[in-house]
Structure 1
Amino acid sequence: MKDSQGAVQVHQQEQRLTEYMKKLIMQEQDLLGIAITDRDGVPIAQEWSRSAKNLSKSFAKHSQIASAFSNMSDQANKLGIGASDTFIASYQHYQVIQFNELPLHQCVVTLFATADANIGELINSRDLWRTITRHIDKEVLRDSRNPGMI
């Protein structure tokens, strides 16, 4: 009984997170998509604007971009350079911003925005995403690290 209640709670939390991400994308027209993955690039939650269908398909095929960033950051730290907590890339039609919450939280947040989006505003949303990833780590990912706990 406790396991089924826990599963229902996790499902409800996932629904609230998806609805929240949908709301953010609708409010910020330059935001094309949001993907939250674990350190290995396994999607936890993602939401895309209607105009980003091709981008969402590409991310689904190449979600390892999130794990590449976390691995690169880990390697830089081992070399004594220090861990990178933000990655920004600009392309012809869009920009990608990644927030590395490792090792504090086991998540990487990837924001996809239009090429002319205000990157500073998106970077300033870091604290919001840190709060969300803290909750995901505590309520969702801890189950995979400590089987039997929900």
Structure 2
Amino acid sequence: SGSSEKQATQKPSVEGLHAIVVSDRDGVPVIKVANDNAPEHALRPGFLSTFALATDQGSKLGLSKNKSIICYYNTYQVVQFNRLPLVVSFIASSNANTVRVHRWYLALSSKCVLFTRSTTLQNSKPHTCTSYFCAPRMHFTWHMSECSPSSCAKNSQ
């Protein structure tokens, strides 16, 4: 039973994971964590925004709301998850374990809450501010500058 307890508390890891990007549906990054191996073009809004278009088209097939899209390329893979109005993108090497990427996402999303908060700018134009909040089962506090997917995963129990 000690082995199963260890597995339950062990944080998931993905060898070959290069970046995690939380972006809006236009591909504009809200939070980005990347290492030097992340392909630069895969971190750009033009690339990241294709998920929203593809998921909209996939939903029109009548099979219900699309949850994720996996794209394999020669040297890397992109696994994107639908949390509209946000998209969570994992960019990894092509030989990274895709199932582990999915498990990492599930662990991350169980520890963190994606939410949208609306405010008004001084010029009275409405503005929607989106943030990532990483404090499980606590009262909502504004943590945008203090929290990222990697720090959430490191600090979670």
Same topology, TM > 0.5? yes
8 Å contact kept, 1:100–1:108: yes
Q: CA deviation at 1:97?
A: 0.4
The answer to which structure has the higher strand fraction is: 2
Q: CA deviation at 1:79?
A: 4.4
Which residue is 2:29 aligned to? 43
Q: Can you list the C-alpha shifts for 1:58-90, whole angstroms capped at 9, x where unaligned?
A: 134x42333221222223324423221111111
Q: Classify 1:125/1:80 alpha carbon distance in 2 versus 1 (closer, same or farther; 3 Å).
A: same
1:114 aligns with 2:93: yes
Gaps of at least 5 residues in structure 2 are: 1-10, 120-126, 130-141, 143-157
Structure 1 vs Structure 2: percent identity of aligned residues?
A: 27
TM-score by length of 2: 0.59
Q: Can you list the C-alpha shifts for 1:82-126, whole angstroms capped at 9, x where unaligned?
A: 221111111111111001112xxx210110111111111111223
Which residue is 1:94 aligned to? 76
Q: Can you list the C-alpha shifts for 1:28-73, whole angstroms capped at 9, x where unaligned?
A: 4411111110111111011111233xx13x134x423332212222
Alpha-carbon distance between aligned partners in 2 of 1:66 and 1:129, rounded to the nearest angstrom = 20
* Structure 2 counterparts to residues 1-150 of structure 1, below 5 A: 28-52=14-38, 55-56=39-40, 58-60=41-43, 62-102=44-84, 106-131=85-110, 134-135=113-114, 137-138=115-116, 141-143=117-119, 144-145=127-128
Which residue is 2:153 aligned to? none
Alpha-carbon distance between aligned partners in 2 of 1:67 and 1:109, rounded to the nearest angstrom = 11
Alpha-carbon distance between aligned partners in 2 of 1:49 and 1:107, rounded to the nearest angstrom = 22
Q: Classify 1:36/1:84 alpha carbon distance in 2 versus 1 (closer, same or farther; 3 Å).
A: same
Query: Where do 4+ consecutive residues of structure 1 move more than 4 Å?
Result: none
TM-score by length of 1: 0.61
Alignment size in residue pairs: 112
The answer to which structure has the higher helix fraction is: 1
Q: Classify 1:46/1:129 alpha carbon distance in 2 versus 1 (closer, same or farther; 3 Å).
A: same
Paired AA for residue 106 in structure 2:
D
8 Å contact kept, 1:30–1:117: yes
Q: Could you say what secondary structure the match of 1:125 adopts?
A: helix
Q: CA deviation at 1:131?
A: 4.4
Paired AA for residue 68 in structure 1:
T
Structure number with larger C-alpha Rg: 2
